[in-house]
Amino acid sequence: MTVRNHLLTLVCALGLGACSSTPTHYYTLIAPATQAPANTSAAPFQFEMQAVLMAVQVDQPPLVVRQGDGSLAILENERWGAPLGDEFHDALTGELERRFGSRDLAGLPKQSDQPVLSIRTDVRRFESVLGQYALIDVVWNLSLRGNGSGKRQTLTCSSVIRQPAGVGMESLVLAHQKAVSSLADSIAKTANSWARQPDSRCPS
């Protein structure tokens, strides 16, 4: 009887432990598709979004937050819905599609009578501080071909964007969504201007 009682106690304890374990939450950088189109006229080019290079310290499923002492905390129960590089790529692509008024044609056939803009992004920093801010430091490259000049044009720029974040993980993720949206604004404005005036430069 004693052994049986011990076994029952152990089973009950394991059951209670499972019920009381911290649930896992999943987040995305893709903002809700409830906003009005950002651009009503199509850009003067087709565009293709290349794969994103993501800072290795944060390119993992759990969210990584920066602590006050300079250390990093990996939050195993707070996770991205997809690898962070993919989340960033899909979020930025969606924002650019709205601004360019066209779809991403990466890996798809292109029209021969329109220039093609390729966009590459290298996320050097993706910084998250709970209750304070979200920051991204991104180097982005524009490459335009088929524009009638007979040669490929390139332009490399960089953006450091910091968005304030309130209390809670949801607020931090929302701040990152806003940072991606701000980055898309800079890329779209620069690309549209540069495609029409090749001597245009990066935003200051």
179 belongs to a structural domain: yes
- Provide the number of structural domains found in the chain: 1
170 belongs to a structural domain: yes
133 belongs to a structural domain: yes
Residue 4: is its pLDDT beyond 80?
no
Q: Look-up: residue for tokens 């993706």?
A: 126
The tens digit of pLDDT for each residue in 27-69 reads 999 998 765 555 557 788 999 999 999 999 999 889 999 988 8
Query: Can you tell me whether residue 29 is helix, strand or coil?
Result: coil
The tens digit of pLDDT for each residue in 135-150 reads 999 999 999 998 766 6
203 belongs to a structural domain: no
The pLDDT value recorded for residue 198 is 85
168 belongs to a structural domain: yes
pLDDT: which is higher, 97 or 37: 97
- Domain boundaries, position 80: 25-31+42-196
137 belongs to a structural domain: yes
Instruction: Write the CA distances from 56 to 78, 83, 121, 140, 156, integer angstroms.
Output: 18, 11, 14, 17, 22
Residue 6: is its pLDDT beyond 50?
no
The tens digit of pLDDT for each residue in 183-195 reads 999 999 999 999 8
pLDDT: which is higher, 39 or 121: 121
Mean pLDDT score of the chain: 87
Does the CA dihedral 147-148-152-153 come out positive or negative?
A: negative
2 belongs to a structural domain: no
The tokens for 153 are 């044009």
15 belongs to a structural domain: no
Q: What is the CATH number of the domain that holds 56?
A: 3.40.50.10610
Calculate ∠ Cα 96-163-140, nearest 5°: 40
pTM: 0.85
